[in-house]
A = this chain, B = another copy of it.
Amino acid sequence: MSKHPVVEYTSEASWAMVEDKFSPYAKETLSKLIKFMEDEVYPAIKVAHAQIPEDPATRWKTVIPIVEELKSKAKKLGLWNLFLSKATLSGYAVIAEILGRGGHFAPQVVNCSAPDTGNMEVLARYGSPEQQKKWLVPLLNGEIRSSFAMTEKNVASSDATNIRTSIKREGDEIVINGHKWWISGAGDPRCKIHLVLGKSDPGNKSAYQQQSIVLVPADTPGVKIIRPMKVFGYDDAPEGHCEIIYENVRVPLGNLVLGWGKGFEIIQGRLGPGRIHHCMRSIGAAQKALDTMLQRVTDPAKKTFGKFLYEHGTVVADIAKSRAEIESARLLVLSAALQIDKYKAKGAFEGDRNSQSGILNVLQFVVPSMALEVVDRAIQSFGAEGVSQDQELASTWSGLRTLRIADGPDAVHIQQVGLKELKRVPALVQREKEMKKKQAILMEKAGIKAHL
């Protein structure tokens, strides 16, 4: 029995779980992707980083040459827009793990990076033909990039109803005023379009129908990029996470997406698959960190006190725990993807404790924390080199750290999962009551007196 090469990068357990969801064609695509990553993409990552100048004057104007070259190659190989392919979500999840081993760049190379993926899905599902022609087509071609402007400064944005940016119709135009930050990708010279979420109907009695989404070309007058936000010292140039002021920004009425008051509906639909994507990329990053750690602790050049690093203290136990935690998390995400595939129609999930949203909340608070822990152990095994620019570990850690915040803080997801569990109580109480009734009969029959 010949093994698929993906097993070397992931695990037999997970492959056994999803293999039968892969058509022969999908298996071949996966093989091709892995080969492309090994031959071209993974070796190019250091080069890509080096092609971003330190000088603030040019840093933010960079289109990284090697990334553009690789994009052409990927397109020719048919390794392009894989997230949109007819493959199942569980199938793409496996791909996302492979991409997650290649940092920021691997997903770009195959046109599968956030926030473009989510934006393309929005435009494909909700965009007008004109919107699609103007923005979706070049996005699908990898000619431009995009950003999603949601988070606002000085607003507790884990509660989307707090959004303050104003979106108003004035005649044939829409006028946007707001102060956003952490708008990922907006620093990139290739970023040509912002999807801006704001309040168009603040008086609406439904808190979920007050928001709309508008397409704002990046070069519209009034779009002011204030500064890049840094994450633990990293600015992630040229994409960046920008603070942006939208000041009296005017766009034509046709730039409204889906309709007035549809903002909340759009962001809800955008979240689900996105969570699977970034969770699987996190798992790829964690698995890669473990692979790196394994090499470090067996490196004869790093012996101390006459022993390999792995012969000291808790190193072997740390490795074992990492292996177990990665495997558990991977199965959890794949199982969520399988469920979504199974019950594709949205309706099938609602009101169920194992619903899309419940299980996705679980992923959200489990996976990034797990990955952070695994990467931190790898950092520790590298000593000072681990926190430095000479290993990817510190920047990987830093990127993962934002995932505990970006999509709502852990606490929100934990709370939602807990409250969803509480919804099972009436059924449990009913079951217990029936059990107790039967028990009472049996107790009496057996002549036993109960204390409770």
Residues of A within 8 A of B (CB): 1, 7-8, 11-14, 16-17, 38-40, 42-44, 46-47, 50-51, 54-56, 65-66, 151, 154, 156-159, 162, 181-182, 226-227, 229-235, 243, 290-291, 294-295, 297-298, 301-305, 309-310, 312-321, 323-324, 327-329, 331-332, 335-336, 338-339, 342, 348, 352, 354-355, 359, 362, 365-366, 379-380, 383-384, 386-390, 394-395, 397-398, 401-402, 404-406, 409-419, 421-422, 424-425, 427-429, 431-432, 434-436, 438-439, 441-443, 446, 448, 450-452
Determine whether the beta carbon of A352 is less than 8 Å from that of B12.
yes
| Besides the known contacts A295-B425, A298-B425, A310-B422, 14 further A-B residue pairs in the complex with CB atoms under 8 A apart | A7-B354, A12-B355, A13-B354, A46-B439, A47-B448, A50-B443, A55-B56, A162-B304, A230-B388, A231-B394, A243-B451, A294-B421, A318-B418, A321-B414
Which of chain B's residues has its CB closest to A154's CB?
A: B301
Determine whether the beta carbon of B43 is less than 8 Å from that of A439.
yes
Determine whether the beta carbon of A291 is less than 8 Å from that of B428.
yes
The minimal Cβ–Cβ distance linking A181 to chain B, given in whole angstroms, is 7
Contact of A233 with B395 at beta-carbon distance under 8 Å, contacts A156-B302, A320-B421, A446-B50 already known:
yes
Determine whether the beta carbon of A414 is less than 8 Å from that of B232.
no
Contact of A414 with B316 at beta-carbon distance under 8 Å, contacts A16-B339, A38-B435, A435-B38 already known:
yes
Determine whether the beta carbon of A335 is less than 8 Å from that of B16.
yes
Determine whether the beta carbon of A335 is less than 8 Å from that of B324.
no
Which of chain B's residues has its CB closest to A449's CB?
A: B50
Determine whether the beta carbon of B405 is less than 8 Å from that of A380.
yes
Determine whether the beta carbon of A383 is less than 8 Å from that of B157.
yes
Q: List 17 A-B contacts (CB under 8 A).
A: A13-B359, A16-B342, A38-B435, A46-B439, A46-B448, A47-B448, A54-B56, A157-B383, A229-B389, A232-B394, A295-B425, A320-B362, A320-B415, A320-B417, A324-B365, A380-B411, A383-B405
The minimal Cβ–Cβ distance linking A371 to chain B, given in whole angstroms, is 14
Residue numbers in B under 8 Å from A424 (CB-CB): 291, 294
Which of chain B's residues has its CB closest to A10's CB?
A: B354
The minimal Cβ–Cβ distance linking A298 to chain B, given in whole angstroms, is 5
Determine whether the beta carbon of B43 is less than 8 Å from that of A442.
yes
